[in-house]
Chain A
């Protein structure tokens, strides 16, 4: 039994390693995306969307895992600090003056395509 479970686990692990990130949304699809949480959706619409759903800005586009995954690997704490401080072209707080740290975390997870905690 243990061998069977190990084999299944190995197969799942291989599948996970080989998993390609979902295809990035088109610019038109990106414009329609918003967080499920109403508060986050409001903050996103007002602040983040102006750059993260506009390809010309150079910002990683919403749900573009190929752009976000290298950033996500840095860890939530680093991304949160870059957001609060501003980083390269990213203005401090993403120009959201009323966002709390938990709002930023939720918005980062949404834009990075990592809303599902699993």
Chain B
């Protein structure tokens, strides 16, 4: 998340905060036990499936792992419905759970071939494996999300994105794809061929069938300089627009209850590689949790302590190939709500979210991620029709997240926010139709490709207004 954050924190101070917060009575009142676990095997002998954060569960009657596109087509024709494709399980919404068939593309992984600078990639390829595979050819993806464990198909299905005012989300680089429909047909589509299927399928929640391969635009695999720094939150707000204009990739994290923000920029460079060093994210989060546990009763005290400990930390720099720096490890699991807002409202919304959290929820300690994404024209892209600014609120996986729906989502909705498809939200049917001009067109294509609704689990039926 905020990579290198902990390197910004004086080590001794961090330890002191964690130690002070980690040994006293107050910790016991804040730190939650592991969430209740459903049985690993149910009464019918079916194995548990859970998403990354643990809040979505299912006991699929079948688990399918086709070895090639032909086998995928055969399986789709006969599989027990609902058929739900799954990648790394990073979605917080109930896109993947099914009592029918859970289908993994893990065996469809790797770069098939090149057409000039465009790579033909099997859709089950994990993003973390795609980076080195493209680098072998001296190429790279223009943008990457801050987690790289997802499958390419899963990332596209949910409009997964990185950050950069001139950079589109991942599906913006897709120039063609092959969709295997629930009745086993294979449709080749692009902006010039089966264009309606293409515009619907680039971001399609795994609801039209299963994407088997994707043609991706790439860029030269350049080294980039990563900078991470800490500054007052108000400075981050004042300088954000200029930084989005200045840097290839820029994002920042508002750190509630500290009055601080952490900036992260990436820019191309010819400088020699400079190691990033060991990851410190967990230590930084531990420090923030320690501050909450120790001083959560008083926001002024908590802010003063945070500023004393964190504000003077030195910036950090690393240089390496982009695929090695843009994504980072997330050793601490969490739940998350992220909405994509009209760019001109993003920072006002952020201020309102931070103020609301600091007034209502002293238990929150995770930083809030703030990114910018260029527009594209996929029908269900949250970035369709104009650039969007993203605001993402996280909670530790053991902590309550209901407040995201009660306190935070109404703020996002009041300002025209569109939800990230893989992150927590309550919107469905007509609420989504009001946000997406091509919503009805998408539903029409979906009905044509899957008239029996074999790809729809209860969550998707509700989302599409089919219940």
Contact = CB atoms under 8 A, between A and B. Distances in A.
Given A58-B282, A84-B48, A93-B49, 8 more contacts: A54-B329, A56-B331, A58-B331, A86-B52, A86-B333, A87-B34, A92-B89, A98-B65
Interface string B51-73: 11010000000011100000000
Given A56-B278, A95-B52, A85 B63 contact: no
A93 B109 CA distance: 19
A34 B390 CA distance: 39
Interface string B34-50: 10010010000001111
B279 A56 contact: yes
Majority SS at the chain A contact face: helix
A51 to B, nearest CB: 8
A98 B128 CA distance: 19
A87 B102 CA distance: 22
A43 B106 CA distance: 8
Instruction: Give 3 closest A-B pairs by Cβ, nearest first.
Output: A92-B50, A56-B279, A98-B65
B104 A92 contact: no
Given A50-B126, A58-B331, A101-B47, A95 B102 contact: no
Contacts of A58: 282, 329, 331
Contacts of A42: 106-107
Interface in B422-444: none
Nearest to A59: B331
Nearest to B60: A97
B354 interface: no
A89 B333 contact: yes
Interface in B310-336: 329, 331-333
A26 interface: no
A87 B149 CA distance: 17
B88 interface: yes
Nearest to A101: B47
Interface string A53-79: 011111000000000000000000000
Interface in B8-53: 34, 37, 40, 47-52
Contact of B50 (A46, A56, A81, A93): A93
Contact of A97 (B40, B49, B129, B329): B49
A92 B48 contact: yes
Nearest to A55: B278
B40 A81 contact: yes
Interface string B66-110: 000000000000000000001111000000000000101011010
Interface of B: 34, 37, 40, 47-52, 54, 63-65, 86-89, 102, 104, 106-107, 109, 126, 128-129, 149, 278-279, 282, 329, 331-333
Contact of B89 (A85, A87, A95): A95
Contacts of B51: 92
Given A46-B126, A50-B128, A98-B63, A85 B333 contact: no
Contacts of A91: 50, 52, 54, 88-89, 333
A99 to B, nearest CB: 9
A100 interface: yes
Contacts of A24: none
B102 A97 contact: yes
B52 A47 contact: no
Nearest to B86: A97
